[in-house]
């Protein structure tokens, strides 16, 4: 089931590791980066709840989720293929919108797909294994450029726009991988046939765009308490992760390689080093996601997630104080624990508190709790001048001194606050979990 998720997450890994540098190569200022990457959170905010509600109401011969898998896979493939060919910031922004639309169209049904296929007592293991595939995919995405250089490619071989050819090759690998793995997953593990009762329920639902939007509104109004409580955790968690993904490479370029010149060979090396560190923490998340299965049954997903977030916060806070490349991998252990938990444990809390017939729409709404903090981060930290209007508050310069090292320490504090917040969600503790899950 999760092989297609691997292809999807390979795409996300490429974005996390390369979009900031691509924009920098094309002339963007560091302070503009969060705003230039608004495509991800905005398409997530708009696309996932709508696709979630639509997939809940779909009863085609291909299934509820499969049509959306395929549409998203094609868009993702196109976005990845053309992104490294960008000749301007505007072109890169436009392709990022296509890429993120495809990613989000596919992502939401994939979450619901796990819930559809597995029994309640299997879902924790299902989502943690999905988290493991996330770690594996992103590890490969971050590590591939360094492997290409290791096989003989020149890291300083760039096109006329300053984009290294290693980036071009790895994005094209991602384009092929995202499409083929999703197709393989759909063919090998088809959706379960809908029961007569489920088909009748879908046919009884009102159709059309207004009905879909009304369903989203009603689902928000009826949101279970556990899901409401997860909102505060998501705010701190995703502000921290957004800042880390955007600015880690710029912190490493200063602390380890002593450069701020994005066109220098030292910066190209910093990009590769950031990829290696990210590959390492994703490898940690891949391994620990499986190790978390017995732990989550013993103490519950909430306390376990809190512990992992604390570890990630410490890792992020320490990382910008490291000046030796080899030592960067020590704080990355904590980041890997946090990332492995983020992609699994919150969903284990969520799926046991929402009605099965609304899984798709609630997964989409839960994604809003991911992308709204990302939007908040972009608007507060960045500023973009469009000529006739300026957007954002530019706290990156005003509050953090325009220093990515300060940003990473701020991100560490954010993850620690997320850890405190999740302890408020009593539904994630063993005593509050369904007996079927405890017995498993």
Q: At what angle do helices 225-255 and 301-318 cross, to 10 degrees?
A: 20
The rounded average pLDDT for each run of 10 residues, N- to C-terminus, in the chain (440 residues) is 85 94 96 92 83 77 83 94 96 95 84 79 77 85 96 96 96 95 87 77 73 84 86 95 97 98 97 97 86 84 92 98 97 95 83 77 83 94 80 93 98 97 73 42
User: What is the pLDDT, as a whole number, of residue 434?
Assistant: 46
What CA–CA distance (Å, rounded) separates 357 from 22?
A: 42
What CA–CA distance (Å, rounded) separates 124 from 230?
A: 17
Where does 336-415 show beta strands of DSSP type E?
383-385, 390-392
What CA–CA distance (Å, rounded) separates 244 from 16?
A: 9
Residue 221: CB atoms within 10 A of its CB come to 7
User: What is the pLDDT, as a whole number, of residue 197?
Assistant: 80
What CA–CA distance (Å, rounded) separates 326 from 155?
A: 20
User: What is the pLDDT, as a whole number, of residue 426?
Assistant: 67
User: What is the pLDDT, as a whole number, of residue 128?
Assistant: 72
List, in order, residues 6 or more apart from 91 with CB less than 8 Å away.
Answer: none
Predicted structure pTM score: 0.86
- Is residue 156 within 8 A of residue 167, CB to CB? The reply is no
User: What is the pLDDT, as a whole number, of residue 250?
Assistant: 98
Q: Two tokens at 264? A: 């220098």
Q: At what angle do helices 404-422 and 301-318 cross, to 10 degrees?
A: 160
């Amino acid at each position: 089931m999760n092989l297609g998720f691997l292809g999807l997450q390979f795409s996300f890994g490429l974005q996390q590791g390369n979009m900031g540098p691509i924009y920098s190569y094309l002339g963007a200022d560091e302070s503009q980066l969060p705003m230039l990457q608004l495509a991800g959170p905005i398409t997530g905010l708009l696309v996932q709840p709508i696709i979630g509600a639509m997939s809940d109401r779909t009863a085609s011969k291909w299934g509820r989720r499969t049509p959306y898998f395929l549409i998203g896979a094609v868009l993702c493939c196109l976005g990845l293929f053309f992104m490294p060919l960008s000749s301007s910031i505007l072109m890169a922004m436009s392709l990022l919108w296509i890429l993120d639309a495809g990613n989000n169209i596919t992502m939401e049904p994939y979450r619901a797909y796990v819930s559809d296929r597995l029994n309640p007592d299997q879902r924790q293991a299902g989502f943690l294994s999905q988290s493991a595939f996330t770690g594996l995919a992103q590890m490969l995405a971050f590590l591939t450029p360094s492997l290409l250089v290791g096989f003989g490619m020149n890291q300083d071989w760039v096109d006329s726009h300053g984009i290294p050819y290693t980036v071009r090759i790895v994005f094209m690998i991602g384009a092929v991988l995202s499409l083929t793995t999703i197709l393989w997953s759909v063919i090998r593990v088809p959706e379960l046939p809908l029961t007569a009762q489920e088909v009748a329920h879908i046919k009884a639902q009102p159709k059309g765009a207004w009905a879909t939007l009304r369903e989203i509104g009603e689902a928000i109004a009826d949101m279970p308490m556990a899901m409401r409580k997860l909102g505060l955790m998501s705010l701190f968690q995703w502000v921290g992760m957004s800042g880390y993904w955007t600015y880690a490479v710029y912190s490493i370029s200063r602390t380890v390689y002593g450069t701020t010149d994005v066109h220098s060979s030292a910066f190209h090396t910093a990009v590769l080093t950031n990829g290696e560190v990210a590959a390492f923490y994703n490898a940690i998340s891949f391994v620990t996601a499986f190790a978390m299965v017995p732990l989550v049954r013993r103490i519950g997903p909430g306390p376990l997630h809190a512990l992992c977030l604390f570890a990630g916060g410490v890792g992020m806070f320490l990382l910008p104080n490291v000046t030796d490349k080899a030592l960067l991998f020590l704080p990355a252990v904590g980041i890997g624990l946090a990332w492995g938990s983020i992609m699994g444990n919150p969903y284990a809390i969520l799926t046991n508190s929402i009605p099965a017939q609304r899984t798709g729409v609630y997964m989409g709404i839960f994604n809003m709790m991911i992308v709204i903090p990302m939007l908040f981060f972009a608007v507060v930290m960045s500023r973009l001048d469009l000529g006739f209007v300026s957007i954002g508050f530019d706290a990156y310069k005003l509050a953090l001194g325009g220093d990515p090292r300060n940003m990473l320490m701020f991100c560490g504090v954010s993850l620690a606050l997320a850890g405190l917040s999740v302890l408020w969600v009593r539904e994630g503790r063993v005593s509050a979990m369904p007996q079927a899950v405890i017995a498993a």
